[in-house]
Amino acid sequence: MAKELIINQTLNEQRVALIENGEILDFLIDRGGDDGGNQPIVGNIYKGKVLRVLPGMQSAFIDIGHEKAAFLYVDDAYIPTLEEQREMLKNKLKEEEVKTSQQNVGKVIPDEMSTFTESVLKLRKDISIDSILKEGKDIIVQVAKEPLGSKGPRVTRHITLAGRHIVFMPFIEHTGVSRRIQDENERNRLKEILDSIRPEGKGIIARTVAESQSYKVLKSDFNMLVKIWKDLLRKSSKAKAPAMIYKDLTFIQRVLRDITDEDVDAIIVDSKSVFHQVEKFINKYLISMKGKVRLYPDDTPIFEHYGIELEIERGINNKIYLKSGGSINVDQTEALVSIDVNTGKYVGKKTLEETILKTNLEAVKEISYQLRLRNCGGIIIIDFIDMDKEEHRDTVYQALLEVLKKDRAKTNVLPISGLGLVEMTRKRTRETLTRILCNTCPYCEGTGRVKSPITVCYDLIRELIKVVKKAKSQKIYVYAHPEVSAQLCGKELDIIETLEEQYSKNFVIRAENSYHIEQYEIYAHEF
């Protein structure tokens, strides 16, 4: 299966798509140029100042120099002592051993960072945010989530520095291996290497691309990250908060570091300057990728040539049609994402149950694809077509778990409920595709609906009655949208005439082309 990384440069906009056999595995976009603009990018580290501490919310707001204050939750603010960390690890391993023996599934493979992050909550039962932070104090934080919608960035004090093969954690004592490396012998080999490299009190995690790498390669990566850490500490001691003290790699470099692996058969770029940047980075850090970079030669835009442009358009539409004739509807709100599966035109060839099962299984693949493409995150509710048979529900659920294995983002999926619903979560650290590419409709203000002309007519009439009861002048002027004015002077003219006669008034109705469909004005005085 051919896997290719397609890079498109259009002035200050850079777009990257990782595709496999024409299907987008990952899509990223940056419009800030190489410096990332003024946006707090995930991975950037700041010397910030504590603005407000909120004990009632167990959180604090940190000034990092961005227009919106950064949000710091107590779990991300508290750094346990070395003794506490070791106690947490001991308890965590005991829990996992009990859980594993109960499930009878063999030896547990710990997640990259779950050992630490899941244990902090239990440890901090008696720890309040105001015992950790004080307003006006300086603090070093790292961006964990970029600003999303109206929310500012989310930050953490659990600093991590990512290299090509490993992640360095200066405050956490931990040795971990990516969960995507499943071979037990390889996991043990990497853990032995990391334990020999890791200083006491520090943490190292082997990334997926560390598989089969030598001690020398991992040690070199570690030395580079330690040097970066020491440099940013020196910079922090001289900087005045708020100030950025470490900027992650450029957008293209982050892409090459984070989503490019040896399975990628080719990196195709349509810009000479980006082509040279990619080659330089690969020659220094990704030796195994040498010879795989190509400059796109055709006149047809690169994203059109590979069918990516069409897929992006599908990614911002609410309705997506399936090959069978069925469809899925994706609605993204501030709180959650809801996905509805419909049979549509598909009537099947056998029984109703088989038709429903086939549609749901086809929808599973498309849903997984759309979640990655749109970068949907948070709570996701999938409404599959109701299935009467328990084995059909289990088949669809297992199929969903299987296709989600392709997703780089962490997901948690609950079994299909009796109502045919799947509840799941998906981690998101950056904006959704629709928020990046689209603005809220200025006419409907994002609701997707406006009142009908007849509804506005009756709203206007009710307001008109209130005005005429108090008005002393004989003439009443009404200004409204042309469609509403036409309704008042047409179908609803009898109501207007009845009111004129009842209140002995004269109504002058005028159409205003510049008015919103729901806008109207009523004046009870002479002009």
How many other β-carbons are positioned within 10 Å of the β-carbon of residue 18?
22
The rounded distance, in Å, linking the Cα atoms of 507 and 522 is: 10
Q: Average per-residue pLDDT in the chain?
A: 85
Q: Where are the alpha helices (DSSP H) in 166-258?
A: 184-197, 215-238, 251-258
If you count them, how many residues does the chain have? 527
Beta strand spans in 100-254 (E): 138-145, 154-156, 161-162, 166-169, 174-177, 203-206, 243-246
- pLDDT of 111 above 50: no
Predicted local distance difference test score (pLDDT) of residue 95: 60
**Residue with token string 């020491």:** 230
356 token code pair? 């429903």
Percent of the chain with pLDDT over 70: 89
User: For the ranges 186-200, 315-329, 426-440, 465-479, which has the lowest average pLDDT?
Assistant: 426-440
Go through the domains of the chain in sequence order and give each one's CATH number: 1-36+250-315 (3.30.420.60), 40-247 (2.40.50.140), 318-437 (no CATH), 453-523 (3.40.1260.20)
CA dist list (Å): 431 to 378, 404, 499: 12, 20, 53
Predicted local distance difference test score (pLDDT) of residue 109: 35
Phi, psi of 405, rounded to the nearest 5 degrees:
-65, -25
- pLDDT of 116 above 50: no
The rounded distance, in Å, linking the Cα atoms of 251 and 14 is: 8
What's the number of CA atoms in the CB half-sphere (13 Å) around residue 272?
0
The rounded distance, in Å, linking the Cα atoms of 1 and 266 is: 12
* Mean pLDDT across 68-89: 83
Of 424, 427, 411, 426, which is closest to residue 144 (Cα–Cα)? 427
**Residue with token string 């932070």:** 133
User: For the ranges 30-34, 259-263, 354-358, which has the lowest average pLDDT?
Assistant: 30-34
Burial of residue 351 (CB within 10 Å: 0-12, 13-18, 19+) is exposed
* Mean pLDDT across 358-385: 92
Q: If you ran DSSP here, which 8-state letter would residue 354 be given?
A: H
- pLDDT of 312 above 60: yes
Of 62, 64, 57, 121, which is closest to residue 88 (Cα–Cα)? 121
The DSSP bridge partners found for residue 258 are none
Q: If you ran DSSP here, which 8-state letter would residue 281 be given?
A: H
510 token code pair? 């005028």
Predicted local distance difference test score (pLDDT) of residue 485: 94
Q: Are 320 and 311 in contact (CB under 8 A)?
A: no
Its pTM stands at 0.72
The rounded distance, in Å, linking the Cα atoms of 230 and 504 is: 85
- Indicate the pairing of strand 138-145 with strand 3-10: unpaired
341 token code pair? 């599966």
Predicted local distance difference test score (pLDDT) of residue 100: 43
**Residue with token string 């190509």:** 294
Per-residue pLDDT band for 527 (boundaries 50, 70, 90) equals very low
Burial of residue 486 (CB within 10 Å: 0-12, 13-18, 19+) is middle
How many other β-carbons are positioned within 10 Å of the β-carbon of residue 474?
11
Of 24, 92, 58, which is closest to residue 375 (Cα–Cα)? 24
Q: Are 400 and 422 in contact (CB under 8 A)?
A: yes
| C-alpha torsion 48→53→59→62, nearest 10 | -20
Predicted local distance difference test score (pLDDT) of residue 110: 38
In this predicted model, what pLDDT tens digit does every residue of 138-195 receive, in sequence order?
Answer: 999 999 988 877 788 999 999 999 888 899 999 988 899 988 888 899 999 999 999 9
- Indicate the pairing of strand 3-10 with strand 266-269: parallel
More confident residue, 149 or 311: 311
